[in-house]
Structure 1
Amino acid sequence: MPKTHIDKVYPKSDVHPMILNFQNGYATEQFEVDKCNLFSNEKNGLKCVTAELNDMLYAGEEEKEDLGKTFILAKNRVTGKVRLIEVGSALLKPILKVDNDTPQVLETSHLELSRKFGSKKQKQQMEQREKLKVNVETVTEQMQNVTQAISEDKLDLSSYNKSDSDDFYIPPIDRTADKPENVYDIDKILTEDQYEKIYSELEEKDYAAEYTPFIKSIATGKKLSNRQTVLAVYANSLLKYSVTMAKEVSKKNFVACTHSPTLNNIIQANFSVMTNGKRTRPTPYKDKALCHAIVFALLINNLKFNLEMLCEDAKITAATAAMKIRVTGASVVSLGSKKAVQLKLPLNTKSGFRRRSARF
């Protein structure tokens, strides 16, 4: 058998031979193409072939050959030299020219055939498809009716929208005070009537039994004034409120303070909002409750308390607590091996971050 010598290999170029296959048949010796065009896809660089045969348009894109290459062998009968020519391959599929209404007709015909002559599984599939069909006009009309019934709650968001101000999260503050005890005025947190009414509601009730470990550590074993007692219950309620699940807060029967209806109403009014007739507690209001509790704890414990106990009750890390504490103007200081929160001058105004929203 004579040896074959490969004279030259021709790789693919901008224009190269193509091996074409038809999806619905095979080419014979009598095969003739009326018109054939070669296009290049600018997105992926592949060739696209179109051919017209028997008034039918065929088209197909060159198949990718990631794992191998296809060559055709061309032999010169005189010299015996052989050349390898790299080619591409494409599968031509018929392109149906139909009107816009034809797909619906074809789909309906297919449904009827499947319903009458299909297997049990096909019939079940057809039934499921019909159930999933949606009348677009009906849905559009329903959505219009729903949007017309929606009303927007108008709230006083003047303080809430001050995303760059810390005043939203804390009680009234005097940042120009010359003494730490003058930074927060206990008389400006609640009115005189509110203090008296809340304290009268707390009398003869065992409110201290519901103190959290943190509030118990700073409120028991010392003589508190009537207003400090009110603030202790206030801070205790806010700490519990800040760790309560949002879905519990939204319930109609939710109570923030069980011992004082007046204090409960104050918390509901100042630390939650009404949305579509439902009371909710957005994240900024949760942070506001915790910051107020920190300030009240400072006021009833000589402007200082233990950081670790606060973190345990509030269920937050020391780093997160430090951000809330900074907003109040207080600082985290070291007392031996422990960390404490202290309100001192100058006020802590350093911020290691830039708040982009009302959350922090």
Structure 2
Amino acid sequence: MAASCSVVCCREERDSDKAVIFRFSNGSVQNAEKLNFTMYRSADEVNPRKKNRRILVAESERLSYVGQNFGTDALKCNSLCNYYVGVLNKKTMQMELHSAQLFNIKPVIPGEATVMANDDATQTFREKVDSLIEAFGTNKQKKALNSRRLNKVHSDMLHHAVEKAANTVIDEKGLDALQQEVADTQAGLALHLPPSNTDADKPENVYPLDKLLSPVEFKALEEASSKMAALTAEELQTMRESGGLLCVVRHLENLPSDDEAREKMVCCAFYLSMLLKLSRQKHINRNFGVEEGCPRVVQNKIFRTFTVETYNDGRVRNMVSVSMRVKLAAYCMVLLLHMGDMTVDLTLLHQDMAFSEARIIEVAKSMGLTLAKPPRGKNVAAVVYDEHKQASLILPLVKYEPFMERRKRKRMN
């Protein structure tokens, strides 16, 4: 008859009394006595989630085995069931029950396990699927994978090129200047028109000249413009042939005989030449107009009114943006109106500014000018400028309707 035994429950169980059950993932061990086992526990005994973490290490002469009860390698059965191990004392025939925990220990090869873990952690679901397609996919799936990767490379190259171009533009112009251009373009041409009085009873009062040049500025321009008044006909002809400012040359050739009107015309011509030269440049330095003898008060007015300050390489630079060129065209048009009996030659203006004629006409329309061609005559000057487009300021101002392009409808059969 078999001897009977009794079961005894431990009253208080410590960590050292708990049993450990482990299994090898890659097979069984022939000689378990040659393994050295070590149990590591978490040093954080305050955190309830970490204080029960354990790592079991079994070392042999050839390999090391590691198992843990947390993370992805932990057995799910530990959280679903409670395991106990009975230890029989053959002398007293009493069996003590101890709580147990299961470990699945795996061999660890130095230098490979960590790399594999990191690769699995960083790979996305799409990358894992692509790896499976490369290894086990059909020819059609592999072709689709190569095509998608080529498209991604081209997309990345295009994105890199666009980003590089945008950074180049921002570095050259500056972020503030670009934002100013966008704001000016969205606001339209109305912001760039000179001060006007649409209720004026005379054409010369619609765009007053004193709003463009104050009496103090006129006084400062007298000395600088005296050199223009002293130009001879041969010198003016040389300026015309060398590609000078045709608008300025034309008015200098026809200066009035009255002293006051002549002085006013020369001052306007000098200021007009400064604006036309400014419109041909992109980046302006602080020495602009010094060689021509431009007064400091007029120079500061030009910088303040027609340039945009940008910051590049820690320096402040003045730049003539596209919107500022439109503003320059409008102010030059007002000067030419006062210099030419309320008539301006748009063809000469667009040639001097290197601006498109369509853009100049658009500015003239926004100012309410009347577009016309000069009448044919026997005068030599009339013959030369016969094909030029001109604009006149005639009251009341003309209101042009915006051009709306209409698309032709396709006929349905």
TM value normalised by structure 1: 0.50
TM value normalised by structure 2: 0.44
State the structure with more CA Rg. Answer: 2
Higher relative contact order (CA 8 A, sep 6+): 1
Bigger share in helix? 2
